[in-house]
Structure 1
Amino acid sequence: MSSPAIRPDSSTQQNLFKIADRVLPGSGLGSYSLARDIRLIYSHGKGSRMWDVDGNEYIDYVGGAGALILGHCHPSVVEAAKAQFERGSHMFGSLNDTAIHLAERLVQDIPCAEKIAYATTGSEATAYAMRLARAFTGRDKILKFEGAYHGNHDYAIVSTFPKQTGDYPQGKADSYGQPQATVSTMLVCPYNDLDTLRKVVAEHHAEIAAIIAEAVQRIIPADAEFLQGIREICDEYDILFVLDEVVTGFRLGYGGAQQWYDVEPDLSTHGKVIGGGGPLSCIAGRADIIGLSDPNLKGQAGYTYLNGTLHGNPVAAAATMAMLDELSKPGVYDRMNDFAYDLCRESQKVLDQHRIPAITQHTGSLWQILFMDKPPRNQADMLASDQVAMRRLDALLMKQGQYVLPGVRRFVSTVHTTEDLEDSLRGLDTACRMFNKL
């Protein structure tokens, strides 16, 4: 496979951008919109590489925001999805055999799972987890950590993108259109800070239904004692612990962050890898909590409404089964995590050689280049970093054929190769030379 080489935009890409500019807000599919000099239109992918409509080749370190842990178009996943599609792609109101088999496997493989409830997206899963926690405890408030992303719903986007830290535990709305009444039900604490958490919970525990946390918040790993500390605080005050594993589930290891950190939440949320790149997520955990969504309880006290058109979609379920088969093979995570370690170690050498004031940060197969002098522990550390320089270098890497979203963490897949590593280091070397000339 040849090294990536980016060519100027062709008429094909420019014509498509003209259409996108006319019919899509900001020519985007969500909150990400690349600068005009690096934006691209995806055509197809294979393994660790992807191509735009002009034929430019990229090493993919976005991986569908972490969903494509086996890379693009893995043969086993494609075959499983195709076979299910030929049997039927969707139904509603009744069970399907593929979703049942996957649910059985998820209960077996997710450490905290006694039951699972399906959803469609990671955002939906965290919204459902919060709803279940409120229903189970009879309390209204949820405590989250500053800078954490738990999805796109009104309860999640609170103090997710703060321009300054502090003023705990009051959260700040991240978007216009959020009702203040909703925002007021969210409490916020700094990540990796058990002392502040204990103070806030001691004052507000009678109102708190759950504490929701990630084991790796963006690119910041939890301290070894942090998640266990949350578990202990939740036990002390009879609060539910929700571990958001939409990113880390089946990513840090087959048992996710629960296995990595040896911690057991009351509920965990899963997406991205769950779904095999398709529309499927789940909430896993205690049977007495998940069981509140039993449709046979409609009209009874405690019944909690969870429903969606694509819940348990059989094509996504089939793709997930195939993906889990691959991930459960011996050595898969060791090879993937070793690649991330080697990539970060060698990238640091290149950065140091060019006297770029940046560090590489990684946990398992999640990694990023950060313009700071020590690993971050919380959102305040991230805000103190040189984010302008970080985005500038990332944009230069895009021009060297590495698909990274400027300022956003990257992912390694199981199919990244030695050739990808060598090409990435050459691209970083060139990008650093260009960076120092700016």
Structure 2
Amino acid sequence: MTTVASTTDQFVSEFSISRWCDTADVLARLDALLKQPIRPIRPENMSQVLSYFDTHCRQSKLVATAAEHVIPGGVQHNLAFNYPHPLAIRAADGAYLSDLDGNRYIDFLQAGGATLLGANYRPVRERVQAVLAECGPVTGLLHEYEVKLAELVCRHVPSVEMFRMLGSGTEAVMAAIRLARAHTGRKWIVKMGGGYHGWSDQMVYGIRVPGTGRMDAAGIPRSAAARIQEGFPHDLHALRRRLQLNRLRGGTAAVIVEPFGPESGTRPVTAEFNGELRTLCDEFEVLLIFDEVVTGFRTGLSGAQGYFDVRPDLTVFGKCLTGGYPMSGGVGGQRDIMMNLAGGLGGSQKKVLVGGTLSANPLSCVAGYYSILEMEKTQAAQHAGRAGDRLCAGLTEIIDRLGLPYVAYNQGSIVHLQTSGVMLMDARNPFKLIKLVREAESRKRSMEEFGAAYCAHGLITLAGSRLYTSLADTDEVIDEALNRFEDVLKLA
């Protein structure tokens, strides 16, 4: 087991977060938002928003209609879903996206947070093109950039002594859980309710909304989550009781958390939470897994663990790991745990099986290596964090000036803009579940309508409630974006 790390000068000034948000204040404002009726975009204004898609997005509509015939639901990945229909993107550059109809948008989706350097960053693209020209995207054999990328991750992330590349964050979570169980000889895994750790069978439990359990588990046998338990954000006392009870039932292998709080900080934790969690895991000899798919490198080169000064036993990576290029996933941690992933036959180590034909391919590894080097050189996390601060401060000023009940807050370059509160609902009380499902639908629709309105005003967001800033977001970009956000918020 490891303990809370001591801060070193190496990690003092690298972070995208100038200060941690006032969690109590944010939670109070979010609670107030949930307790009042929805303040949606007015119907007469919403009709004007939808007319934008009819008149300006005809090519996107044609592609979206064709997609519905050959792709379930018309989208291949959840980020692409937009109301009233997905936009078909033709070009990406820095802070901007352009669709097939020639419309230009300020990009606060940034591939779900993966492109910290901005979209289609040229210095990385040129390195990738050089490797593609020389050996192609995959050979199935060892490539020097596999080693270079692993060395870079180990150098920057304080808890990582060894690193294994995988194909996605979902795969990396699966590997981390398998490692924890093999290393400890225990079976129970505790996750925080509402947290998103990919879509593997065992992690589709209490996903997005605390207390929902198997609500989204269609097609998943009940036995798949038989040893998965749900804790609740902020409640370490309840987690302690659960770990105590598990001692009587074979013990807990690991607790897995998003260090900013469930859903990339949509339910933010206190600044002290991760340190207290580390102490609790040490007391019960439980491995602590940080899911840093979103926070890894975006928070700073040492991730959220560097910012909070807490060392997990295992860390899950994705997104920024390869700078937005495909096959981005990996798990890292202490040498004695990670050696269980060593391949081959025989030996004294336990053999934890992972695989993936395209994992650690030359394309992904060279992209990751040079993306992280560029993050170092440009101080991308810090610049993106300052852009997030500027964006959040501007949104808060607009909300207050217009007398709206909405809530904006940020954790560096991750900015949250809550207008409906649907992502903050809680299903822990089973007697209120039917009411919750009914209310969630109307709140979800309001969030989607805001997302459409942002698009109609040249802004791309994640589901109308989350915004990722990047190195490309200059003061001029942010100021222009704030003017557009104000135009949208005046429609409510």
Normalising to structure 2: TM-score of the pair? Answer: 0.81
The alpha-carbon distance between structure 1 residues 342 and 72, as it changes in their structure 2 partners (threshold 3 A), is same
The 5 A counterparts of 1:332-343 are: 332-343=380-391
Deviations 1:366-421 (A, max 9, x none): 01211389x979888xx899555444333311211100133442210111122221
SS state of the match for residue 253, structure 1? coil
For 2:151, which of 96, 104, 120 is the aligned residue? 104
What is the aligned counterpart of 1:222 among 243, 255, 269? Answer: 269
Q: Which residue is 1:213 aligned to?
A: 257
Q: Shift in Å at residue 298 of structure 1?
A: 5.1
Q: 2:318 corresponds to which letter in structure 1?
A: G
Partner of 1:177 in structure 2? Answer: 219
2:298 maps to 1:251: yes
Which residue, out of 423, 426, 430, partners 2:483?
426
Q: Which has the higher helix share?
A: 2
Query: Separation in 1 of the partners of 2:297 and 2:427?
Result: 25
1:15 CA displacement: 2.7
SS at match of 1:204: helix
Is 1:161–1:174's contact at 8 Å kept on the other side of the alignment? no
Distance 2:491 2:395 in 1: 16
- Residues 89 and 10 of structure 1: CA distance in aligned 2, closer, same or farther (over 3 Å): same
Distance in 1 between residues matched to 2:160 and 2:286, nearest whole Å: 18
Equivalent position of 2:90 in the other structure: 43
5+ residue gaps, structure 1: 1-5
> For 1:374-389, what aligned pairs fall within 5 Å after superposition?
388-389=445-446
Work out which of the residue numbers 343, 357, 361 in structure 2 matches 1:313. 361
Cα distance in 2, alignment partners of residues 272 and 231 from structure 1: 25
Q: Which residue does 1:415 correspond to in 2? A: 472
* Aligned residues between the structures: 423
Letter of the 2:105 counterpart: Y
Would the aligned equivalents of 1:44 and 1:52 in 2 still touch at CA under 8 Å?
Answer: yes
Measured after TM superposition, the shift of residue 30 of structure 1 is: 2.5
Structure number with greater CO (CA < 8 Å, separation at least 6) is: 2
Distance 2:357 2:137 in 1: 9
Residue 17 of structure 1 is matched in structure 2 by: 64
With normalisation by structure 1, the TM-score equals: 0.90
Go from structure 1 to structure 2 and tell me whether the alpha carbon gap of 1:265 and 1:38 turns closer, same or farther (over 3 Å shift).
same
Partner of residue 199 from structure 2, selected from 147, 152, 177: 152
Instruction: Give the residue type in structure 1 aligned to 2:256.
Output: I
Supply the AA of the counterpart residue of 1:147.
Answer: G
SS in 1 for 2:491: helix
Q: 2:238 aligns with which of 191, 196, 200?
A: 196
Contact 1:252 1:260 in 2 (8 A): yes
Q: For 1:151 and 1:418, how far apart are their aligned partners in 2?
A: 34
CA distance in 1, matches of 2:148, 2:159: 18
Q: Is the 8 A contact 1:143 1:189 kept in 2?
A: yes
Question: How far apart are the structure 1 equivalents of 2:382 and 2:141?
Answer: 40
The superposition leaves residues 212-250 of structure 1 with CA deviations (integer Å, 9 ceiling, x where unpaired) of: 011122233321221112211211111111111111000
State the Cα distance separating 1:166 from its structure 2 match.
4.6
| Alignment match, 2:370 | 322
Q: Kindly provide the CA deviation profile for residues 28-47 of structure 1, in whole angstroms up to 9, marking residues without a partner as x.
A: 11335645535311111101
Spell out the pairing of 1:155-166 with structure 2 (5 A cutoff): 155-162=202-209, 165-166=210-211
Deviation at 1:102, TM superposition (A): 1.1
RMSD: 2.5
SS state at 2:479 partner = helix
Q: Take 2:60 and 2:311, find their aligned partners in 1: how far apart are those partners? A: 48
Q: Distance in 2 between matches of 1:60 and 1:181?
A: 41
CA distance in 1, matches of 2:80, 2:97: 18
**Equivalent of 2:402 in 341, 354, 358:** 354
CA contact (8 A) 1:191 1:379 kept: no
Q: Give the CA deviation at 1:173.
A: 4.8
Deviations 1:56-100 (A, max 9, x none): 111111110111111111111111110110121344543111111
Corresponding residue of 1:3: none
Indicate if the aligned counterparts of 1:344 and 1:361 stay in contact, CA closer than 8 A. yes
Given that 1:387 and 1:407 are in contact with CA atoms closer than 8 Å, whether structure 2 keeps it comes out as: no
1:86 is the counterpart of 2:133: yes
CA distance in 2, matches of 1:173, 1:34: 21
Please tell me whether the aligned partners of residues 347 and 360 of structure 1 are also in contact (alpha carbons under 8 angstroms).
Answer: yes
Please show how residues 27-42 of structure 1 align to structure 2 within 5 Å.
27-32=74-79, 34-37=81-84, 39-42=86-89
SS in 1 for 2:256: strand
Q: Using the alignment, how far apart are the partners of 1:432 and 1:11 within structure 2?
A: 26
Indicate conservation of the 8 Å contact 2:167/2:329, yes or no.
yes
Are 2:117 and 2:380, in contact at CA under 8 Å, matched by a contact in 1?
no
1:62 equivalent to 2:109? Answer yes
- The reply on whether 1:396 has 2:453 as its aligned counterpart is yes
Q: Is the 8 A contact 1:369 1:390 kept in 2?
A: no
Aligned to 2:43: none
Greater shift after overlay, 52-61 or 14-23?
A: 14-23
Secondary structure of the residue that 1:254 maps to in structure 2?
coil
SS of the residue corresponding to residue 143 of structure 1 reads strand
